[in-house]
């Protein structure tokens, strides 16, 4: 069984960057944990985290609940941006 923390990290409604996390982990595994081989994946993950953190902070300032949009809501946000 996964810990509660691990389950949260796998929950698409809580963690907007599950796909980036998985891609980074796969790259590290495939490249024998040579971090420099996966810098693009780390950058994508970092950009994902920053993007959704900024959205979350904006929603918090505006009193919008929940602060992190659901997976469906995030998909619509991304689609509206092109």
DSSP state, residue 36: G
Q: Distance between CA 20 and CA 42 in Å, rounded? A: 8
Question: What is the number of helices (H) and of strands (E) in the chain?
Answer: 4, 0
Domain count within the chain: 1
Look at residue 75 in the predicted model and tell me its pLDDT.
93
Domain range for 70 is 4-80
Q: What is the pLDDT of residues 51-82, one digit of tens each?
A: 999 999 999 999 999 999 999 999 999 999 98
Name the pTM for this structure: 0.84
């Amino acid at each position: 069984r996964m810990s509660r923390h691990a389950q949260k990290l796998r929950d698409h409604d809580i963690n907007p960057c599950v796909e980036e996390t998985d891609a980074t982990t796969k790259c590290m595994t495939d490249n024998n944990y040579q971090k420099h081989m996966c810098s693009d994946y780390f950058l994508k993950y970092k950009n994902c985290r920053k993007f959704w953190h900024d959205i979350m902070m904006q929603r918090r300032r505006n009193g919008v609940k929940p602060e992190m949009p659901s997976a469906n809501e995030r998909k619509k946000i991304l689609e509206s941006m092109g």
